[in-house]
Amino acid sequence: MERAVPLLGLERLRAPGLPLVAAWLLGLGPALLWSARTLARPEHHPNLLVFALALLPGLRRLPWRVQPHLRAAPAATAVGGLTAGVLLQRAVDIHLLSAAAAFVALYGILGLFVSPGRWRRARPGLLLALAALPIFEQAHHYAGFALRVLTAKVVAQLLSAVGLSPVASETILVLERGVAHVEAACSGLKSVWAGSLLLLAVAHVRAQPAGLRLGVAFALQASLLFLGNVVRIAVLVALVHHFQLPEAAELVHQPLGVLSFVAAAGLAVLVLERSVHASRARSRRTGPEDGSPGHHARPRPTTPARPPGRTPIMGLTPTLVLIALPGLAWALYAPRPDDPRAALPLPLDLGPGVTVTPLELSHAERELFLRHGGAGAAKARLQTGELTAEVLWVPAVSFRPHHPPELCLAGAGHRFDHLVPADLGLGLEIRHAILDGGRLTAAHWLQARGTTTPELMERIRDHVLGPRRRWVLVSVLVDRALPPDDPRLKALLFTLHRAVETALASEPQS
């Protein structure tokens, strides 16, 4: 059994746990305030119901009236969550992760007030509270796009197996008769979130500890939901773009989603329920664990009463450390400062051989880029020799204003005939497309100082894991169909590539 040592110096207070709980609430205040402000938005009010389900059972007995005891696992969880929150805020600047770390730290503090058995059985409640955080916006940016790319690739393979020949480019599926886009609503994240809440609620109500059995149920449900989503999207794409039956696709769209969710969630709950029954049957044979209902634990030896006088300073050390640590974290807490380059334009010098005519961004483009940190976006018409092209470049420190340009082109009514990656040499890799029956050429890439890639996922990885640097999305639309190795097209794209590199190299690095 884990050794528990009373935290000395608090025993004489009417509410011994109050200083400890108050200190940690204050130390985690920035992350908790962000959670409260975000959940106060009307679109997140349903999340509050999930929080209530997660937290209300634990509020039946307020912990600060109980003498806290120092236990290794809860203390390590609290300190680890606190440390992770501070480091994540400085290094990654994703508020959701800092808020999640704060809830993990509070869960660790709870373990100082309750028995180890009750603390372990509270894990589904912690996971339920974490799942109730406003994850959709962050998940859409960080996990949703990757999941949509994977879904598009698997759907392309599935359709190829039945005789169709789609080309997958990130979240775009190009078929002979049209272009399909795996949109954010089709990523499957909402289904995974709803199914996770259902499983966690069942585990929380049934007092099932979060362990291997719950993990197996989660893995089964997520796998079935992904498979069901792939099949649903493949059916819809085939109906709309191959059989030209959009009415049929509209009819089966929602029923297919509901059926796949009910089947996946039902099987996962069934697996979890069977594990709960098996666990309780084993508990009846061997005796319930510490702190479980019906368990009569042997009385613990009481700590001898301390005679009046001062508490030794060595005995006070754990208490002082646990109360002081959140204050230190609060002092060290500082959100990553806004990069001054975020809103700056990026003027390009294309040389005397290119005539540049500035163009106004459309209302939709301006709203998109301003909302996500791409205020420096610009557009121009270029004339070089016999080629005329429109170019859009979006400089940004955050990856959020960067997106696959194929979406905008498809939204503007262009039809893709051909879409492939192309390596032009000299460090320039692009995504190349022929549009509208051989009338236009489109090309795009993402460029940072010394780095060029056509892959949005590589740019997202650099934002999360790499240094803070400015990237530029370059999208070009040429007035005629040209292959990637056409000298005129290559000359234009190399000129743009060099101009962007020169502009980035002239900027001060953060």
Is 112:70 a contact under the CB 8 Å cutoff? yes
Is 195:261 a contact under the CB 8 Å cutoff? yes
Question: pLDDT in tens for each of the 510 residues of the chain?
Answer: 456 656 655 555 555 666 777 777 777 878 888 888 877 777 777 777 777 766 666 555 445 456 777 788 888 888 888 888 877 776 666 678 888 888 898 888 888 888 888 888 788 878 888 877 876 555 655 566 678 888 888 998 998 888 887 877 767 787 777 778 677 667 787 888 788 888 888 877 776 666 777 888 889 999 999 999 999 999 988 888 888 888 898 899 889 989 999 999 889 888 888 776 666 666 666 655 554 444 444 444 444 444 444 444 445 566 666 767 776 666 666 555 556 666 678 899 999 889 999 999 888 888 878 777 778 899 999 999 889 999 999 999 888 788 878 777 877 788 777 778 899 988 899 999 888 888 999 999 999 999 999 988 888 888 878 887 899 999 999 999 999 999 999 999 999 999 999 999 987 765
Is 93:335 a contact under the CB 8 Å cutoff? yes
Is 447:474 a contact under the CB 8 Å cutoff? yes
Is 106:28 a contact under the CB 8 Å cutoff? yes
Question: CA 52, CA 296: separation in Å to the nearest integer?
Answer: 30
Question: CA 79, CA 182: separation in Å to the nearest integer?
Answer: 41
What would the two tokens of residue 476 be? Answer: 């070009």
134, β-bridge pairs: none
Of the CA atoms within 13 Å of residue 156, those in its CB half-sphere come to: 22
pTM higher than 0.85 = no
Please give the pLDDT value at position 334. 57
**Length of the chain in terms of residues written:** 510
Q: State the helix-helix crossing angle for 29-39 and 72-91, rounded to 10 degrees.
A: 70
Is 472:393 a contact under the CB 8 Å cutoff? yes
What would the two tokens of residue 71 be? Answer: 């236990």
On the 0-12 / 13-18 / 19+ scale of CB atoms within 10 A, 177 is: exposed
Question: CA 204, CA 248: separation in Å to the nearest integer?
Answer: 41
Is 387:480 a contact under the CB 8 Å cutoff? yes
Is 217:268 a contact under the CB 8 Å cutoff? yes
Please provide residue 170's backbone torsions phi and psi, each rounded to the nearest 5 degrees: 55, -115
Instruction: Give me the amino acid identity at 130.
Output: L
Residue with tokens 């000359």: 491
Please give the pLDDT value at position 451. 94
Question: CA 138, CA 23: separation in Å to the nearest integer?
Answer: 29
Task: Tell me what percent of the chain is helix, strand and coil, each rounded to the nearest 5.
Answer: 55, 15, 30
